[in-house]
Amino acid sequence: MEAMATMASNSTLLLHYSRSGVLPPLPLHPCTAKSTAYHTAPSSFSSSSWTLSMLTTTRTPRRRRRSSCSSSSSSSSSYAACTVRKSTIKCGAINNISESEFDTVVLESERPVLVEFVADWCGPCRLISPSMEWAAQEYGDRLTIVKIDHDANPQLIQKYEVYGLPTLILFKNGQEVPKSRMEGAITKVKLKDYLDVLLDSISVA
């Protein structure tokens, strides 16, 4: 009898709260699952479909939205990659060639070709490298600049009697331009004067 009275009382309360639209003050107990923070209601209210639907409704976890910084970071990476590629193409006017390419690239070229003999262990060669890159861009419409490694191309070193590094030699129509040979480090200003004089002389000739 006591149990029936309790059920009747609970049913009356549920009807009252369902009409008023207010959720009854249920004593909640934490779930045992460690991964959730949801709570369950006492078993005395389990007979009500309304209460059950209210308590068993689970929230669908929202997908993490990408932050704007991640997309902008991706864009920055793409932009950086594009910048590097463009820079490489622009500064890549100086190509490293070997003995097998020398005749085709240098001697058979329709344009004047400035050959720079270098070596990895040569400090002055590294010192003038920025100036040579600048010259390749500045004079790119008037001549071609190539590099030849001293150690990897001994026959060319012997043929053109390269004794110091770096050595610059200008070629035109398959021949070494007279007085175009220069050895040792050179500043950007002197390199400009050197090229201007040589290019003017061969254009007149």
> What domain range includes position 45?
23-58
One domain for residues 37 and 135: no
Q: Which residue has the higher pLDDT, 67 or 163?
A: 163
pTM: 0.56
Catalytic entry in 31, 69, 82, 122: 122
Mean pLDDT calculated for residue range 34-47 = 41
Q: 7 lies in a domain? A: no
Q: Which of 31, 69, 82, 125 is catalytic?
A: 125
Number of compact structural domains in the chain:
2
Q: Is the predicted pLDDT of residue 20 greater than 70, yes or no?
A: no
E-assigned strand segments in the chain: 29-30, 39-40, 95-97, 113-118, 144-149, 167-172, 175-176, 182-183
Per-residue pLDDT at 203: 86
Mean pLDDT in residue range 157-166: 97
Distance, CA of 18 to CA of 132 (rounded, Å): 86
Task: Please choose, from the candidates 38, 156, 162, 144, the residue with its C-alpha nearest in 3D space to the C-alpha of residue 94.
Answer: 144
Instruction: Indicate if 31 belongs to the active site.
Output: no
Nearest alpha-carbon partner for 114 in 106, 102, 124, 123: 106
Tell me, yes or no, whether 37 and 110 share the same domain: no
Q: Is residue 141 part of a domain?
A: yes
User: Can you tell me whether residue 93 is helix, strand or coil?
Assistant: coil
115/27 same-domain check = no
Q: Give the residue, 31 or 8, on which the prediction is more confident.
A: 8
Question: Is-cis flag, bond preceding 130, omega within 30?
Answer: no
Q: Which of 67-81, 137-151, 174-188 has the lowest mean pLDDT?
A: 67-81
Tokens of 53: 């639907």
Predicted confidence at residue 28, as pLDDT, reads 41
40 lies in the same domain as 125: no
CATH number, domain at 125? 3.40.30.10
Q: What pLDDT is stored for residue 62 in this prediction?
A: 54
pLDDT at 105 over 70: yes
How far apart CA 3 and CA 136 sit, in angstroms, is 98
Is 144 a domain residue? yes
* SS3 sequence of 21-79: CCCCCCCCEECCCCCCCCEECCHHHCCCHHHHHHHHCCCCCCCCCCCHHHHHHHHHHHH
Residue 125 falls in the annotated catalytic set: yes
Instruction: Note whether residue 162 is domain-resident.
Output: yes
Higher pLDDT, 143 or 31: 143
pLDDT at 87: 30
User: Is the per-residue pLDDT at 140 higher than 50?
Assistant: yes
